[in-house]
Chain A
């Protein structure tokens, strides 16, 4: 149990995102919500085709089976918020570091753009601002004031909408009450039409997320690497056709 002196917020949490692959339809609504919430730039068709899309959530699509019995499998992959994050020790300037809630925090203004973290990340969820990001009118009108707009040459990635976590924490504290389960909703969780995403505290045994995490369907991505991610997947069955 650690306390953050600056925020006077008691921190004894391990944030967890549960992704139910049975519910995911691959609709990409979470990706759009994430773009809007986190001021993620849109790079255009040409750059995206060359692997320079900026999505913080990547809906990975895999084909299963042979024609005509082909199934599309969708797997949303965002920053896994690893406990033992491979990206953290390699950053020469501490632009990415581990905070007390087990999140991989990213300090945009400290990043000098060596892209070492991007190479070290086994999930390849980090995205890089290859050019000066543009927000054509009227997109500038909807930039989120809680999130830094990054310049070129900076690495960025999913933060579990840390600005929403902080705001809810501070609000609940000023109201003198404890956070309730499900009160914090990252943009993707809020938007998901099939409720495939559940956010919560892993250390709270009663939270919905931690209950789902104990499901027999749960697994983590690339567990052999020992990264101990903060994203837990629930195995998909037959519904995802």
Chain B
């Protein structure tokens, strides 16, 4: 245990236990400033990054325009590979969006204390990843202006949508999730908007004043906020489970070999959690460095997040294996051909990339040193998402190349249009995220302050003693 003098001198603390006390030494206004300063000060590198990302997005928008002008033929799709990188990336982004709610709602309900500094970043990730995901069903139509035909609206020609189609479930689920997660993000944001409003001027003041909805921090307001967050946390969990289940049913309800599987829904959900948590860890490592939030995002948080990624990874392996072994023993001729393609055929590089990139990080994250060293954590979680992207590509594109009649087997080559549009959403996500982090307090200040009450220093006689309290 540290000496009181030792603490008082603000010597850098190294052990996780002591790190928790870092904030205990700060006053509320110091915390406010520590969160607000990185938002207000943007360096040269930030604008360089914004420009590069904007250029990639602009190029992607041009590619999309090119696709709209000429037709879906400018992508690498053909018969029978009707869905390719667009749907792969759609599944990927929906997957990424899952961790936000997972972290925020589940951990809030479980009262896991380490969630506090990372909830905002996670919720923002959900919202932006969903926005990127929602672009793909539009893009992949080619004639994007026909999209509204999928929306059930009364019209004089009595045309209705087919609620048997998983694409309609997708539409409903994604819109529900987008609205739900945006509201959830915004609810938890209100007290921080009020805090920011009170500390800035110019256009930011006007913006925050509107967004804070006149928050004053009265007892009644806090009570309502906690109640609303409690309700949202419960309500959004079935939505988040249903969204990726429905995405899996886009595939599983068909009789296409390799897709027609009952385990797809939970397998996709667990895969989404695995890739989403990994993406969150990667993003937090990068944002922490970029915005100098070392004080808030500490090794204890990365340690806990790393453990969660590891557990999700193990669950993914279990579900993958449960699906694979049934297909292997089922020995259906087409599925056998697909498995052969993956293990020893032309899909083998992707298959081994998928397996190694998904399994090696699990082994790495067993070690605490990997979980708590930002660079190592970043490397392993980025690897997970390489693996998960490959997995989705193998499911979508790999399966479609084979089907019941061998004469219809095909292959697929991506084109510059598809790659540009995929790059556009990655850059677009990063762009939205870093702009968001400069406008909205990235660390939920009120949650930190609330959590800080738990780990505090109390003077008992001549000693300063760290104490932990149970708070709601």
* Chain A interface residues (CB < 8 Å from chain B): 47, 50-53, 58, 60-62, 75, 77, 86, 89-94, 110, 112-116, 118-120, 122-124, 126-132, 152-153, 221-222, 225
CB distance from A219 to the nearest CB of B (A): 14
Q: Are the C-beta atoms of A132 and B403 separated by less than 8 Å?
A: no
Q: Are the C-beta atoms of B255 and A89 separated by less than 8 Å?
A: no
CB distance from B70 to the nearest CB of A (A): 6
10 more CB-based (< 8 A) A-B contacts, given A52-B79, A93-B149, A153-B71: A90-B166, A92-B171, A94-B161, A113-B141, A114-B140, A116-B166, A119-B254, A120-B254, A120-B255, A123-B405
> Given A90-B165, A114-B167 in contact, is the A120-B256 Cβ separation under 8 Å?
yes
Contacts of A60 in B (CB 8 A): 405, 407-408
B4-40 contacts to A, CB under 8 A, are none
Q: How far is the CA of A21 from the CA of B239 in the complex (A)?
A: 52
Q: How far is the CA of A22 from the CA of B464 in the complex (A)?
A: 96
Q: How far is the CA of A47 from the CA of B74 in the complex (A)?
A: 11
A-B contact count (CB 8 A): 133
A116 nearest in chain B by CB position: B167
Contacts of A221 in B (CB 8 A): 405
CB distance from A163 to the nearest CB of B (A): 22
Q: How far is the CA of A153 from the CA of B145 in the complex (A)?
A: 11
Q: Are the C-beta atoms of A92 and B143 separated by less than 8 Å?
A: no
> Given A89-B164, A91-B165, A129-B71 in contact, is the A119-B82 Cβ separation under 8 Å?
yes
A92 touches which of B78, B81, B167, B255 (Cβ 8 Å): B167
A118 touches which of B82, B140, B166, B171 (Cβ 8 Å): B82
CB distance from B16 to the nearest CB of A (A): 50
Q: Are the C-beta atoms of A92 and B82 separated by less than 8 Å?
A: no
B69-86 contacts to A, CB under 8 A, are 70-73, 77-83
A131 touches which of B71, B79, B253, B407 (Cβ 8 Å): B71
CB distance from A167 to the nearest CB of B (A): 25
Q: Are the C-beta atoms of A112 and B77 separated by less than 8 Å?
A: no
Q: How far is the CA of A61 from the CA of B166 in the complex (A)?
A: 34
Q: Are the C-beta atoms of A92 and B150 separated by less than 8 Å?
A: yes
- Per-residue interface assignment for chain B, residues 101 to 115, with 1 indicating a CB less than 8 Å from any chain A CB and 0 otherwise: 000000000000000
B146 touches which of A50, A113, A118 (Cβ 8 Å): A113
Q: How far is the CA of A110 from the CA of B160 in the complex (A)?
A: 11
CB distance from A45 to the nearest CB of B (A): 14
> Given A124-B408, A128-B72, A130-B73 in contact, is the A115-B82 Cβ separation under 8 Å?
yes
Q: Are the C-beta atoms of A110 and B149 separated by less than 8 Å?
A: yes
B78 touches which of A52, A110, A116, A225 (Cβ 8 Å): A52
Q: Are the C-beta atoms of A112 and B255 separated by less than 8 Å?
A: no
A93 nearest in chain B by CB position: B149
Interface of B: prevailing SS: loop
> Given A110-B159, A115-B83 in contact, is the A153-B141 Cβ separation under 8 Å?
yes
Q: How far is the CA of A116 from the CA of B149 in the complex (A)?
A: 15
B403 touches which of A52, A112, A116, A122 (Cβ 8 Å): A122
CB distance from B251 to the nearest CB of A (A): 8
A61 touches which of B160, B255, B256, B407 (Cβ 8 Å): B407
Contacts of B217 in A (CB 8 A): none
Can you sample 15 A-B contacts with CB below 8 Å?
A50-B78, A51-B79, A52-B79, A61-B407, A92-B165, A92-B168, A113-B72, A114-B141, A116-B166, A119-B80, A123-B404, A123-B408, A124-B403, A152-B71, A152-B73
A94 nearest in chain B by CB position: B162
A52 nearest in chain B by CB position: B78
Q: Are the C-beta atoms of B143 and A112 separated by less than 8 Å?
A: yes
Q: How far is the CA of A131 from the CA of B67 in the complex (A)?
A: 10
Q: Are the C-beta atoms of B150 and A130 separated by less than 8 Å?
A: no
- Per-residue interface assignment for chain B, residues 147 to 169, with 1 indicating a CB less than 8 Å from any chain A CB and 0 otherwise: 10110000000011110111110
Contacts of B143 in A (CB 8 A): 112-113, 152-153
- A-B pairs, top 3 by smallest CB distance, nearest first, are A130-B73, A51-B78, A60-B407
Q: Are the C-beta atoms of A119 and B140 separated by less than 8 Å?
A: no
Q: Are the C-beta atoms of B73 and A118 separated by less than 8 Å?
A: no
Q: Are the C-beta atoms of A153 and B72 separated by less than 8 Å?
A: yes
Q: How far is the CA of A75 from the CA of B16 in the complex (A)?
A: 70
Most A CB contacts (10 A, CB to CB) among B168, B253, B254 go to B254
Q: Are the C-beta atoms of B162 and A119 separated by less than 8 Å?
A: no
Q: How far is the CA of A152 from the CA of B73 in the complex (A)?
A: 9
Q: How far is the CA of A78 from the CA of B105 in the complex (A)?
A: 51
Q: Are the C-beta atoms of A127 and B79 separated by less than 8 Å?
A: yes
Q: How far is the CA of A75 from the CA of B256 in the complex (A)?
A: 21
Contacts of A58 in B (CB 8 A): 407-408
Q: Is B349 an interface residue (CB 8 A)?
A: no
Most A CB contacts (10 A, CB to CB) among B80, B81, B405 go to B405
B71 touches which of A62, A90, A91, A130 (Cβ 8 Å): A130
B381-438 contacts to A, CB under 8 A, are 400, 403-408, 410
B412 nearest in chain A by CB position: A51
CB distance from A156 to the nearest CB of B (A): 12
Q: Are the C-beta atoms of A86 and B82 separated by less than 8 Å?
A: no
CB distance from B213 to the nearest CB of A (A): 37
> Given A86-B254, A131-B71 in contact, is the A91-B162 Cβ separation under 8 Å?
yes
Q: How far is the CA of A89 from the CA of B78 in the complex (A)?
A: 22
CB distance from A136 to the nearest CB of B (A): 17
Contacts of B159 in A (CB 8 A): 93-94, 110
Q: Are the C-beta atoms of B165 and A89 separated by less than 8 Å?
A: yes
Contacts of B171 in A (CB 8 A): 92
Q: Are the C-beta atoms of B162 and A86 separated by less than 8 Å?
A: no
Q: How far is the CA of A120 from the CA of B400 in the complex (A)?
A: 10
Q: Are the C-beta atoms of B161 and A93 separated by less than 8 Å?
A: yes
Q: Is B142 an interface residue (CB 8 A)?
A: yes
- Per-residue interface assignment for chain B, residues 50 to 78, with 1 indicating a CB less than 8 Å from any chain A CB and 0 otherwise: 00000000000000000000111100011
Contacts of A119 in B (CB 8 A): 80, 82-83, 254, 256, 400
B149 touches which of A89, A112, A126, A130 (Cβ 8 Å): A112
Contacts of A225 in B (CB 8 A): 255, 404
A130 nearest in chain B by CB position: B73
Q: How far is the CA of A47 from the CA of B149 in the complex (A)?
A: 29
Q: Are the C-beta atoms of B79 and A124 separated by less than 8 Å?
A: yes
Q: How far is the CA of A73 from the CA of B146 in the complex (A)?
A: 42
A154 nearest in chain B by CB position: B143
